């Protein structure tokens, strides 16, 4: 995963979007990663995985 400084992300927003379409990009503030920017497709893929996992996991109080 590539990392950009917040300043570079701000002034190169178009580049950030282009990079994030290929892979998630961490944005760092004061040298510490604080957010990740990703494509909509990657976000939807991760949401689907989470939904599948939560459907398989019994809720508290339910039998397996």
User: Which has more confidence, 22 or 64?
Assistant: 22
In a domain, 62, yes or no: no
Residue 19 within a domain: yes
Pair of tokens at residue 38: 């990703």
pLDDT digits (tens, 9 = 90+) for 3-40: 999 999 999 999 999 999 999 999 999 999 999 999 99
Range of the domain at 28: 2-56
Residue with structure tokens 């995985």? 49
Res 57: pLDDT: 75
Q: Is residue 10 part of a domain?
A: yes
34's enclosing H/E stretch is: strand 32-37
For residue 61, is it within any domain?
A: no
Give the CATH number for residue 45.
3.40.1620.10
pLDDT attached to residue 58 = 73
pTM: 0.77
Backbone angles phi and psi of 54, in degrees to 5: -70, -30
pLDDT at 59 over 90: no
């Amino acid at each position: 995963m590539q990392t950009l400084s917040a300043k570079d992300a701000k002034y190169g927003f178009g580049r950030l979007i282009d990079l994030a379409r290929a892979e998630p990009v961490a944005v760092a503030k004061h040298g510490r990663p604080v957010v990740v920017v990703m494509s909509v497709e990657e976000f939807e893929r991760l949401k689907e995985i989470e939904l599948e996992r939560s459907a398989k996991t019994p809720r508290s109080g339910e039998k397996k």
